[in-house]
Amino acid sequence: MSSILTTEKLCKSFSNGGVQQHVIKNLDLEIIEGDFTVIMGASGSGKSTLLYALSGMDKPSMGKIRFAGTEIQDYSNDQLAVFRRGNCGFVFQSVYLLENQTVLDNVLTGALIVQKNSPELISKAKDLLNKVGIMEELWNKYPNQLSGGEAQRVGIVRAAINDPKILFADEPTGQLNSASSSDVLDIFTQIHRNGQSIVMVTHDLKTALRGTRVLFLRDGSIAGEYRMPPYGTDDNKVRRTGLQSFLDEMGW
C-alpha cells in the first residue's frame, strides 16, 4: 500500500502569554492508504493539534505536509479550504451539524460544494443515510430533533459523501452513550472495510480497537506505534490484550 499523507519535521507551536508552547515537535509521519489510523495519547499530548494539521484545518508552524502528492503547508486558508473539499472528510466530537438545515440538507451542503447537483448525488446521500440507519422519516428532520447517535451518524455521512481520500475523526464517540458509540464505530469499521482511509483521534480503548494502526503521541512526538489486523478478522480478546499491553508500555 502507498502512503497518502506524510509529514516531515512537522512542528506546531502556540504562543501563550508570550511563551511559545511547542505542541508538535519535528514529527515525521506516514499515513498509509487504506489504513484505519488511530492517534492516542494523554490529554495535551497534541493529538487534536496533529489531526487539524494533517487535515489542513490548521497550518503547521514548520515542516512539510504532503497530502496525496501535494505539499499543503504553505497554502492560504482559502487554498486549504478548497483542498479539503475533495480530499478530507471530518467527523467532530460535537457533531456540528448545521442546526438550521435538515438532515438531508446537512449532507448535501458538504456534497454540493464539491459536486454538481444531480439525481445520482441525491440518491447517493439517501443511500448512505439508509446505510447508517437514518431512515427516510428522519431526512427532513432538523438536528435538534435527532438523538446524539443519530446526529453523529448524519455527521459521518456528511463527511463521507464526497469519498474523501482520508476521513478524519476527532473523538467521534466522545459524547455518545455506549450503545450509540458502538453503532457509530460499526459504521466507521464498515466504511474502512470499503477501502476508506481513516485517521481518528481517541482516548477510548474500545474505539482504538477498531483501527489497524495505533500511534501513541507523547509531548508532540510519536512515542510508539502498534499495528493490528483489520477489526473483525482476529480474536477480539487477543486484539484487546495486545493493544492494552502496548498502551501500558506507553504509560497510558
Partner 1 sequence: MKIFRLSLFNLRKNRKEALAIIFLTFITVFTLGIVAANLAKVMNVFDECYEATGSVRTLMAFRGETYREEYKDILEDDYNIRDMKLGKLLLAINSGLRDNDGNKLSENFVLLTEDEDLKIDDFVKGDHLSDEEIKNIKHPIWIPQVYEITRGYRPGDTLTIVAGGRDYPFTVAGVYATGVCNNSNVMIKLIVTENDYTLLSGVFEVADFLAFDNDGEFPVMEFAAKGEEKTSEKLTQSLFVLDHYTEKYVETQFPNMFMIMAACLSAITMVAAIFLIRHKIGNDIEDQMQQIGVLESLGYTSKEISQSYVYEYVITVGTGAVIGAIAAVAVTPLMNSTLRSMLGRDVKGAVNVLMVVAVAFVITGLITVFALLKAGAVKKYPPVVAFRRGIRTHHFGRNVLPLTGTGRSINVRLAMKSLVRDARQNIGTGFCIVIASLAFLFCSYSFDIFKNGFDVLMTVMGLEVPDETLTLMNGVDAYEFSEEMAKLPEVEKAIPTYNWKYVHCKGYDGQSYVNIFDDFSLTENLFAVEGRFPQHDNEIAISLRSSRDKDLYVGDSMIVEGDSIEKSYIITGVVGAMSNSGINVFMTCDGYRRICPNERPDGICVYLKDGYDRDEFERKITSIYGASAADMASGSVTDGSLEDRIRQKADEKIALLITNYGVTSVDYAVKIGDQMITGNSSKFVVKDVNSLYDLAESQMGAIADATRTFTFAGAVFVAVVVAVILWIISSSNVRRQRKDLGIMKSMGYSSRDLMKQMAIKSMPVTIIAVIIASALSFPLQSQFWFNLFSADMGVNIPLMIVLDIAMIIYCYIVTYICAGRIRKISVTELMTE
Which spans of this chain sit near partner 1 (rule: CB under 8 A)?
48-49, 52, 57-58, 77-78, 81-86, 88, 90, 92-94, 96-102, 104-105, 108-110, 112-114, 117, 122, 140, 142, 144-145, 158, 170
CB of 102 to partner 1, least distance (A): 5
Query: How far, rounded to the nearest angstrom, does the alpha carbon of residue 161 sit from its chain's CA centroid?
Result: 14
Instruction: Give the three cell numbers for residue 68.
Output: 496525496
| Inter-residue contact 64 to 71 (CB < 8 Å) | yes
CB of 144 to partner 1, least distance (A): 5
Comparison of 16 and 100: residue with beta carbon closer to partner 1 = 100
DSSP 8-state symbol, 209: T
Most distant pair of Cα atoms in the chain: their distance: 54
CB of 128 to partner 1, least distance (A): 15
Comparison of 84 and 192: residue with beta carbon closer to partner 1 = 84
d(CA 138, CA 59): 37
Comparison of 90 and 246: residue with beta carbon closer to partner 1 = 90
Radius of gyration of the chain (CA): 18
Comparison of 42 and 82: residue with beta carbon closer to partner 1 = 82
Comparison of 140 and 190: residue with beta carbon closer to partner 1 = 140
| Inter-residue contact 246 to 227 (CB < 8 Å) | no
CB of 14 to partner 1, least distance (A): 10
CB of 125 to partner 1, least distance (A): 9
DSSP 8-state symbol, 143: G
Give CA separation, 214 vs 32, 194, 204, 244, in Å.
Answer: 12, 20, 12, 11
For β-strands 70-71 and 36-41, DSSP reports them as: unpaired
Comparison of 93 and 180: residue with beta carbon closer to partner 1 = 93
CB of 221 to partner 1, least distance (A): 20
